[in-house]
Structure 1
Amino acid sequence: MSALVPEPVPSTSHLVLIPSYNTGRLLLDTVRAARQRWAPVWVVIDGSTDGSEQALLALAAQDAQLRVWVLPHNQGKGAAVLHGVRQALAAGFSHVLTMDADGQHPAALIPPFMALSVGRPEAMVLGRPVFDASAPLLRVRGRKVSNGWTALETLGAGVGDSLFGFRVYPAAALEAVMRRQPWMRRFDFDTEAVVRLVWRGIKPLNLDAPVKYPRPEDGGVSHFRYGRDNVLLTWMHTRLMVEFALRLPGLLLRRLLRRAPFQP
């Protein structure tokens, strides 16, 4: 930790959870940036094969507020988050802030996101991405499709962005919705999580957050595959729309009566 940055006071309710798969040298930079702003920080290595966890494990051996789990094989982002959430619940934590390990998410915004969550523990705090010139245009346009479907599936409950993974979840509610079905384990995790949490009555609160896409020469890595992951998202929204049709009367009643998640 830098001598110029005061050590954050450890929280007993909220922790930072970082899933990582083959993110190379950016993993250590991301974790250090998160630790400068929050304690504790937990990392779940999702079966990485690039050796990126070695330096992190050495760092964790010297830092009581940094914990690392190494899964034996790659299971997907959602599965890694679920592993961390279950460990957090077992340790008595109530909320987790998830952020990517590849340098895209703004560690400097961890404290304000956590502060909002502490003040509104019944809600989930969602990052609303502010893109710069590094963002691939195809991905920026493509997420508008997913956001449109999500707005319909949640009956306009106020999800600012369905795909941005910088967000604070109520851990028990997230674990409950994931336990009940086999999906949400890979790229479908972020979107399906917010839809199902809204259905559960968890109100979304949105905060703007800048997002950057590090260049390959700066260590940037992307595991997104346009064909494979768009097929996965299409299948996910198909499933959610079928279930939405069954839930529609109850959602309409909740909206009419301004019950969670449609309360002010």
Structure 2
Amino acid sequence: MTTDQPTLRPVPPGRTVMVMPTYNEADNLAWIVGRLRTAQPDVDVLVVDDGSPDGTGRLADELAAGDEAIQVVHRTVKAGLGAAYKHGFTLALAAGYDVIGEMDADGSHQPEQLHLLREALADADLVIGSRWVPGGSVVNWPRRREALSRGGNLYVRMLLGVSVRDATAGYRLFRRSTLETIDLDAVESTGYVFQTDMVVRCLRSGLRVREVPIEFVERVRGDSKMSGKVASESLRRITSWGLRERREQLFGSRGRR
């Protein structure tokens, strides 16, 4: 079993790793990792498990023991999606990866579509697999959930002044230089709002963000980690950022008069 702060194996230049946070995904992990390794055999996998009580971490260790492209880090507390991604990104950067990605462990992000994101990264700093650009879609979502996601993303665009249509999406590829440019250490978001935070930081840094359409498939096994409480927390944080920016713009414009 690995420790909370493992040293990942060095990799040659140009290698890609997908960071996959897990919490109680024992029913899905082997299935989705197997699909990823089949669809993109040159892509490594870093599972970041937040102390899952259902044995997900043990299963991840078993997968890693049989495939040197799979690595695992065990965290002792469930500190949030953003915290898990930040931890995984930090380890991946230290290990020398040039492309670092995100994907869910529940099957909603199809590994068979990862090539679309990899191709788009040729002229981008961050690529997002988007549900809400032309050609994107969701499968097995109730209308209420789709409306909430579309509405939330519209709110982000209007309040923060960004053009990305799916700023909350979690299927992504970052260039190494992107994470270095935005100063990953300065990112404090720990929950789902981490996704929006990262998009905004990239755009504010003048980096190129591209969206490619994907088909998002709702999980068929296990429980979703998204809840009304999580969504409300994200909206509060986004509202706070937007109001702060408006104050800065207002006082800044007054100061220039």
TM over 0.5: yes
Partner of 2:146: 140
Q: Deviations over 1:20-72 (max 9, x none)?
A: 11122111111111111232111111221110222221121121111111111
Unaligned runs of 5+ in 1: 1-9, 250-264
Shift of the alpha carbon at 1:246? 5.6
Task: Give yes or no for the alignment of 1:120 onto 2:126.
Answer: no
Contact 1:126 1:160 in 2 (8 A): no
Partner of 1:109: 113
Over 3 Å counting, the alpha-carbon distance change for 1:120 and 1:190 in structure 2 is: same
Counterparts of 1:1-264 in structure 2 under 5 Å? Answer: 12-38=14-40, 39-117=43-121, 119-121=122-124, 123-129=125-131, 130-156=136-162, 158-174=163-179, 176-182=182-188, 184-215=189-220, 219-226=221-228, 228-245=229-246
Q: Deviations over 1:126-178 (max 9, x none)?
A: 1111334511322210112221122234534x312022201112345446444
Partner of 1:255: none
Shift of the alpha carbon at 1:230? 2.6
Shift of the alpha carbon at 1:214? 2.6
**Normalization by structure 2: what TM-score?**
0.82
Contact 2:64 2:71 in 1 (8 A): yes
Unaligned runs of 5+ in 2: 1-11, 251-257
Identity %: 25
Shift of the alpha carbon at 1:196? 2.0
- AA partner of residue 26 (structure 1): N
Q: Deviations over 1:208-264 (max 9, x none)?
A: 11011133xxx23201111x1132122111222034326659xxxxxxxxxxxxxxx
**Normalization by structure 1: what TM-score?**
0.80
Contact 1:126 1:166 in 2 (8 A): yes
Partner of 1:4: none
Q: Give the SS at the match of 1:241.
A: helix
Number of aligned residue pairs: give it: 232
Q: Give the SS at the match of 2:214.
A: strand
| Distance in structure 2 (CA, Å) of the matches to 1:152 and 1:80 | 28
